Amino acid sequence: MSVISHLENVSSNLVLTNNELSSISTSVGAIRNRINYYFNSKVKEQFKFGSSTRDTILPRKYDEKSDIDYMVVFKNPDNYKPQTLLNWLKDFVETYYSKSEIYQSYPTVVLELLHIRGYNSYSLEKWIIEIMLGGCTSIKDYFFRCIEELTYNYNDPQYLKIAVENAKTIVKNVRQYEKDGYTFKAETEIKKLIPEL
């Protein structure tokens, strides 16, 4: 196996299965129907957003914080304060999902079901889309370029700085091993960064 085949194998496993998609769809449909019933005419609109709508959501087996973002927009003709609207949502989830984990994470209410949970990866996804990836012809090229372009700020936590530097070192080592013809060493090295699933 080579570095490219390892990355292609891992990337092919980073797609939700039909069962996972069906389960999520069923849960989102149930939430939508319950919101319609519970709030009746108070809701202006409701919709999914985030990684699930951008097709960048990862399966839970690879990212335990993978989530579905769901927005509820109230009509609010009486100009209630945001906390009142959040309390309405909290009351709703406590009514229908009392056995699930529920908490307020300003400015949202988080409902943690078995397969729907709160987490934000949007900023990293946005950055990857914005960087210039010209000249990349394979998943390995794209991945290596993203790692090489990663930066951190002076005020970022030390663990983040160490993780970025470690990733850069691994990619540098893999490139050198491949250049020198040591494909097994290159594959072993990349697995430090992207382990087998």
Q: Label each residue of the chain as H, E or C.
A: CCHHHHHHHHHHCCCCCHHHHHHHHHHHHHHHHHHHHHHHHHEEEEEEECCCCCCCCCCCCCCCCCCCEEEEEECCCCCCCHHHHHHHHHHHHHHHCCCCEEEEECCEEEEECCCCCCCCCHHHHHHHHHCCCCCCCCHHHHHHHHHHHCCCCCCCCHHHHHHHHHHHHHHHHHHHHHHCCCHHHHHHHHHHHCCCC
pLDDT at 15 over 60: yes
Distance CA 172, CA 174 (A): 6
Per-residue pLDDT, 126: 65
The C-alpha angle with vertex 186 and arms to 17 and 197, in degrees rounded to 5, equals 20
pLDDT tens for 157-186 read 787 788 889 999 999 999 999 999 999 999
Query: What band does 137 get if pLDDT is binned at 50, 70 and 90?
Result: confident
Say if residues 32 and 47 touch (Cβ distance below 8 Å): no
CA angle 164, 69, 54 (to 5 degrees): 65
> What are 64's two structure tokens?
């335990």
Residue pLDDT, tens place only, 76-92: 888 888 888 888 988 88
The 10 Å Cβ neighbour count of residue 3 is 23
Q: What six digits make up the tokens of 9?
A: 């194998």
Provide the pLDDT for residue 173: 96
pLDDT of residue 121 exceeding 80: no
Tell me the average pLDDT across 21-36: 88
pLDDT (average), residues 26-55: 88
Does residue 185 contact residue 177 with C-beta atoms inside 8 Å?
yes
- Is residue 136 scored above 90 in pLDDT? no
Domains of the chain with CATH codes: 15-112 (3.30.460.10), 131-193 (no CATH)
